[in-house]
Chains A and B, each alone.
Chain A
Amino acid sequence: MEHEHSILYGPVNALWHSVQHRFAWDIPEHVIMALLVLVISAIIFPIFASRIDRDHPGPFQHTLEATVAALKDLLRDIIGHEGDRYIYIIGAFTVFIFIANIFGLFFFLQPPTSNTNTTFALSISAFLYYNYEGIRRQGLGHYLKHFMGPVWWLAPLMFPIELIGNFARILSLGVRLFGNIFGEHTATGIFVGLVPFVVPWPMMGLGIFGAFLQTFVFIMLTMVYISGAIAAEEH
Chain B
Amino acid sequence: MNKRIILITAATLLFAASAFAQAPSAGAAGVKWGVISAAFVLGIAAAAGAIGQGWAISSACEGIARNPTAAGAIRLAMIIGLALIESLVIYSLVIAFIIQAK
Contact = CB atoms under 8 A, between A and B. Distances in A.
Interface of A: 172, 175-176, 178-180, 183, 213-214, 216-217, 220
A175 B94 contact: yes
A176 B80 contact: no
B36 interface: no
Q: Could you tell me the dominant secondary structure of chain B's interface residues?
A: helix
Contacts of B94: 175, 178-179
A179 B91 contact: yes
Most A CB within 10 A of own CB, among B84, B90, B93: B90
Q: Could you tell me the dominant secondary structure of chain A's interface residues?
A: helix
Contacts of A180: 86, 90
Interface residues of B, number: 10
A213 B79 contact: yes
A172 B80 contact: no
Contacts of A217: 80, 83-84, 87
Contacts of B90: 175-176, 179-180, 183
Contacts of B84: 217
A175 B80 CA distance: 16
Top 7 closest A-B pairs, CB basis? Answer: A179-B90, A176-B87, A217-B83, A179-B94, A179-B93, A175-B91, A183-B93
A69 B87 CA distance: 27
27 contacts: A172-B87, A175-B87, A175-B90, A175-B94, A176-B83, A176-B87, A176-B90, A176-B91, A178-B94, A179-B87, A179-B90, A179-B93, A179-B94, A180-B86, A180-B90, A183-B90, A183-B93, A213-B79, A213-B83, A214-B83, A216-B79, A216-B83, A217-B80, A217-B83, A217-B84, A217-B87, A220-B80
Interface in B73-98: 79-80, 83-84, 86-87, 90-91, 93-94
A32 to B, nearest CB: 23
A210 to B, nearest CB: 10
A172 B84 CA distance: 10
B70 to A, nearest CB: 14
B27 to A, nearest CB: 27
Contacts of A178: 94
